[in-house]
Amino acid sequence: MANELKTGDTCVVWSESYADSREQLLTLPECEPMIEEYCSQLGFPSNPEDFVEYLRSYLTQVATEVDVLCANGQ
């Protein structure tokens, strides 16, 4: 349904009376001062290099766990 709404293949009658969520998005300059605090709250590294390494490590861990489950027939 979300895809159909995005592409215009379906619509919600009278939806024009609601706010356009795209107008509520923040620009990058508005977000940048909040990145450190946001990452801190989530327990993520705030600099790009460490963030990518964190995700790479996490995804590798999840993939390994899935491989083990699949190998055990679960």
| pLDDT, position 24 | 84
The pLDDT value given to residue 50:
97
User: Has residue 73 been placed in a domain?
Assistant: yes
> Which ranges of the chain does DSSP label H, i.e. alpha helix?
2-7, 28-31, 35-42, 48-71
Per-residue pLDDT at 18 exceeds 90: no
Q: Is the pLDDT of residue 27 over 80?
A: yes
- 5 within 8 A of 12, measured Cβ to Cβ: yes
**pLDDT recorded at residue 22:** 80
Locate tokens 């356009």: which residue? 20
Structural domain includes residue 69: yes
Section 8-36 average pLDDT: 84
Please tell me the total count of domains within the chain. Answer: 1
Cα dihedral across residues 11, 16, 17, 20: positive or negative: positive
The answer to whether residue 56 sits within a structural domain is yes
Closest CA to 44 of 56, 33, 31, 62: 56
Q: How far apart are CA 46 and CA 27, in angstroms?
A: 18
